[in-house]
Amino acid sequence: MALTMDEQPTRKASSAPALRRDKNRGRNRLYFIAPAAIFLAAFSFYPLLQLVRMSVSKVTSITLNSSWAFTGLENLRKGLEGEMPDALGRTAIFVVVVTVLGLVGGLAAAIALRGTGKWSTVLLALMVFVWALPPVVNGSVWKFLLGDAGLFNTVITGLGMDTIPFLYDQSWALMSVAFVNSWAVIPFNALVFRAAILTIPTEVFEAAQLDGARPWQEIKHIMMPAARPTLLVLTVLTVVYAFRSFDFIYVMTYGGPGTATNTLPFLGYIQAFVRYDFGLGAATSVVTVLLVLVMAFIYARSIRREESES
Amino acid sequence: MNIKVRKGARALGVISVVGALALTGCSSSDSGSEGGSSAGGSQELTVWHYFSADNQVKLMDDYADKFEAAHEGVEVKNVFVPYDQLNSKLISAAGAKTGPDVVVFNGADASTLALAGALAPLDEQWGAFADADQFPDSVIHTVDDSIYAVQGYVNLLGLWYNADILAEIGVEAPTTIDDLEAAMAAAKDAGKGGITLSGLPQSQGEWQAYPWLTSQGFDYTDPQAADLESGFSMVRDWVDNGWLSQESVTWDQTVPFQQFTGGNYAFAANGNWQMGAAEADASFEYGVVPLPVGDSGKVYLGGEGEGIGAHAKNPELAWQYLQETYLDAEGQLLAVSNVGSLPARADASADEAVTGNPLLKPFADSLSSAGANYPDSIVPAASVADLQITVGQAWSAAIGGQQDPAKAAESVMAALPSLLKK
């Protein structure tokens, strides 16, 4: 009892400052979070709320700056009866091509750039440069390269073959723009894959070589398993990237020929900023956002799983 | 506690990703300061335009120099905004109660901009303008009985021809579609290209399509699927015959003229504003004839409308600028010499610089024989943009082979009733 009596003041004296410290730490954390939270609220939550509100309202260039009449799901109905289903189909094809090419290309580049020699550093710098290029510049260069008088067709016709209608045939155009999108995402994927591969201890490769493993076997049995946890995260990010792709289509084909490269984001742009039916454009964008949201949740789950595994 | 924080952070991360993505699709790049401002006693006048061709940019610079020379302390700031972003930027700016002092925009979009509240009415200024009677009604853009913009000049399409190629294949400049097709066939046989034009799936495509569609009898007043199909078929046949490159679906109006001045094409359906480009880039003899669109064919009378931003910082100075540049006789002659535009003013259009220019005469002839309001007066103001992209996409689909001509015509006909409903 005496001991208890003696201990009590001591405990009180030591726990009060500790509580204060915890409180201060909590407050400090809030201060650090505040700028990002304010930024997100202003530039993400508010626009998203406005987007959703717009998607259930009749908003044209005339009413954009005044009050918006609520129309429920009318815009969604109009979109589904109009161009949205076709655009969704094109978006799906586009996403598959960009994701497959982007991931395969990224992994291949990461494996090729595994070393730390001069050339691999130069190539890495070049890839970062490609990644950092604004899509409008990248797209303009590719539009030129893929034209009838561009580099690719000059080589193709030089080999005695017919010109390929890269950007003006309805099937080729979608594939060409998807290819250029993949080209632009490969550097990012390569850098992330490379980081994963670089975590493999060199002893593992040395042991494999002593066991007589060939390069292909090193890739298959050492590098690919090491890159697997990264693969899911990158897959989700690449799918999201492909889903929201707008810039390259805008620069290279403007959705054409006709509507052959009208994917969901571009369709939303045309509806909102060319036809000035902001309500319809917002409804298309909300559908896109919902699909991206699904990907974002998969991304969050995969991150959590990766964290728990590590 | 930690778990909660991490969950919250993760949720925040997810929402931020989605938010950023949502924003990406709708964001647009900053293209300069908005609105005019006064600083240090000097006045700044901001002019938004979408010109990128050298001669058109030079005209803007000449106007800025002219105005600045007459007004000490005034700085005219020409701000380039890409053609297909100008309207949306103006409308967004109006919502934020800002915007440029002066807007130079596609005249056909006057109603879109006026209805969106991006332009200031000019009734008062126009009523007091001493030279108002020099301007024909067709260049004054009125919406709901208020004037919102005036055109300093008129632009329209003509048929540019490479005289060297025509001499080589032994044909005269065409006056009918049959002549044109025969000439394109002969040019192809001689290893040359037939014609260049724009098949871009947007308003420029509709502007380029209109003469050829109306040449086959199509008319927005009484639209018939058969006429529309006939127009689309004609141009698709040009592609199939190798006279027109299918690549034209990726060309705006500048690229096909660059192709023409490259010297390998016999013809270009392009505008009078390309005169400076032709002089600078063509290393062959060239000429212009009216588009051979027959009795039913029409050619849009386009050009840029000039107006004052609804939230201009210096509206008085903006009106002064317009009076001394676009609406001034001397200013309009600058447009003739730089760009080859047809002046809107009666006195300027009678000037030797216009009447003595052999390249401008065919455009003037076309204006009087086949000139049509742009947009067609039957199209309700609120439907102009919608109609332009609908027809532009069908035009592109027919040229690019995404749809056969009948299907392309069908898609337009399905949309027209609601678009033309008053």
Examine residue B169 and state whether it is found in any structural domain, yes or no.
yes
Neighbouring CB atoms inside 10 A of B276's CB total: 18
> Are A258 and B396 inside 8 Å of each other by CB?
yes
Chain A residues in contact with B414 by the CB 8 A cut-off are: none
* The last residue of a domain, from among B319, B340, B361: B340
**Residue of B92, B102, B98, B110 whose CA lies nearest to B47:** B102
Last residue of a domain, one of B291, B316, B340: B340
**Residue in B closest to A140 by C-alpha:** B250
Total domains present in chain B: 2
- Distances B240 to B160, B182, B191, B365 between C-alpha atoms, Å: 22, 15, 16, 32
Q: Are residues B287 and B392 in the same domain?
A: yes
Q: Which residues of A touch B85 (CB under 8 A)?
A: 273
Are A285 and B22 a contacting pair at CB < 8 A?
Answer: yes
Cβ-defined contact of B116 to A254 (cutoff 8 Å): no
In B, residues 99-128, which contact A (CB 8 Å cutoff)?
112, 115-117
Using CA atoms, how far apart are residues B205 and B252, in angstroms rounded to an integer?
8
Nearest to residue B367, comparing CAs of B286, B288, B290, B274?
Answer: B290
Fold of the domain spanning A69-309: MetI-like fold (1.10.3720)
Do residues B54 and B144 share a domain? Answer: yes
Q: Best mutation site among B83, B246, B249 for testing chain A: the one with the most A CBs within 10 Å?
A: B249
Could you tell me if residue B363 is inside a domain?
no
- Centroid of chain to Cα B204: 6
Residue B352 lies in a domain: no
Asked whether residue B408 is assigned to any structural domain, the reply reads: yes
Is residue A13 scored above 80 in pLDDT? no
| Domain range enclosing B217 | 157-300+377-420
Residue B24 is assigned to a structural domain of this protein: no
* B256 CB within 8 Å of a chain A CB: no
Is the Cβ pair A254, B246 closer than 8 Å? Answer: no
Query: Do B99 and B225 fall into the same domain?
Result: no
Q: Based on C-alpha coordinates, what's the Rg of chain B?
A: 23
From chain B, the residues in CB contact with A260 under 8 A are 397, 400, 402
Contact B245 A148 (CB under 8 A): yes
Pairing of strands B304-308, B102-106: antiparallel
pLDDT of residue B41: 53
Domain boundary among B285, B315, B340: B340
Name every chain A residue with its beta carbon within 8 A of the beta carbon of B394: 258
Judge whether B52 is closer than 8 Å to chain A, CB to CB. no
Partner residue facing A44 (CB), from B19, B248, B402: B19
Which residues from B are below 8 Å from A293, CB to CB? Answer: 14, 18
List of chain B residues whose C-beta atoms are within 8 Å of the C-beta of residue A297 = 14
- Residue B185 sits in a domain of what CATH number? 3.40.190.10
A167 contact residues in B (CB cutoff 8 A): 247, 250
A255: closest chain B residue by CA: B201
Helix (H) or strand (E) holding A183: helix A170-197
Whether residue B57 is found in the same domain as residue B193: no
In B363-382, the residues whose Cβ lies within 8 Å of chain A are 382
How many angstroms separate the CA of residue A110 from the nearest CA in chain B?
25
In a domain, B366, yes or no: no
Within a 10 A sphere around the Cβ of B23, how many other Cβ atoms? 15
Q: Are residues B44 and B141 in the same domain?
A: yes
Residue contact B84–A274, C-beta within 8 A: yes
Q: How far apart are CA B200 and CA B397, in angstroms?
A: 9
pLDDT digits (tens, 9 = 90+) for A250-304: 999 999 999 999 999 999 999 999 999 999 999 999 999 999 888 888 878 877 8
Question: What per-residue confidence (pLDDT) applies to B42?
Answer: 65
A196-216: buried (b, 16+ CB within 10 Å) or exposed (e) per residue? Answer: bbeebeeeeeeebeeeebeee
Same domain, B212 and B86: no
User: Are B394 and A258 in contact (CB < 8 Å)?
Assistant: yes
Chain segment A64-85, per-residue pLDDT in tens: 888 999 999 999 999 999 999 9
CB contact under 8 A, B249 and A44: no
Q: Residue B165 domain-assigned?
A: yes
Point out the residue among A43, A259, A296 whose CB comes nearest to the CB of B397: A259
Would you tell me how many other CB atoms lie within 10 Å of the CB of residue B409?
A: 26
Instruction: Give the mutation candidate from A142, A144, A168 for the B interface (greatest B CB count, under 10 A).
Output: A168
Nearest to B201 by CA among A168, A190, A32, A34: A168
Same domain, B250 and B389: yes
Residues of chain A positioned with their CB less than 8 A from the CB of B94:
65
Residues of chain B found within 8 Å of residue A303, distances taken between Cβ atoms = 10
Is the same domain home to B139 and B164? Answer: no
Please identify which residue in the block is written with the tokens 């078929």. Answer: B233
- Assigned domain for B351 exists: no
Do B262 and B401 belong together in one domain? yes
Are B44 and B140 in a shared domain?
Answer: yes
| Partner A contacted by B246 (CB < 8 A) | yes
Check A244 against B24: CB less than 8 A apart.
yes
- Decide if A296 and B17 are in contact by the 8 Å CB cutoff: yes
Burial of B223 (0-12, 13-18, 19+ CB in 10 A): middle
Distance of alpha carbon A92 from alpha carbon A113, whole angstroms: 31
Contact B18 A44 (CB under 8 A): yes
Q: What value of ipTM does the predicted structure carry?
A: 0.84
- Does B217 share its domain with B235? yes
CB-nearest partner of B389 from A47, A60, A274? A274
Residue range A198-234, pLDDT digits in tens: 999 989 999 999 999 998 999 999 999 988 888 888 9
Mutate to test the interface with A, among B83, B254, B396, B410 (most CBs of A within 10 A): B396
Residuewise pLDDT in 10s, chain B (422 residues): 333 434 444 443 444 434 433 433 433 333 334 444 444 456 999 999 999 888 899 999 999 999 999 999 999 999 999 988 899 899 999 988 999 999 999 999 998 999 999 999 999 999 999 999 999 888 999 888 899 999 999 999 999 999 999 999 999 999 999 999 999 999 999 999 999 999 999 999 999 999 999 999 999 999 999 999 999 999 999 999 999 999 999 999 999 999 999 999 999 999 999 988 899 999 999 999 999 999 999 999 999 999 999 999 999 999 999 999 999 999 999 999 988 999 999 999 889 998 899 999 999 889 888 999 898 889 998 899 999 999 999 999 999 999 999 999 999 999 999 999 97
Statement to judge: residues B215 and B326 lie in one domain: no
Pick left, alpha or beta for residue B13 (phi over 0 → left; psi -120 to 50 → alpha; otherwise beta).
alpha
Closest approach of B314 to chain A, Cα-based (Å):
22
Amino acid at B87: N
Among A22, A43, A44, A252, pick the best mutation site for testing chain B contact (most B Cβ within 10 A).
A44
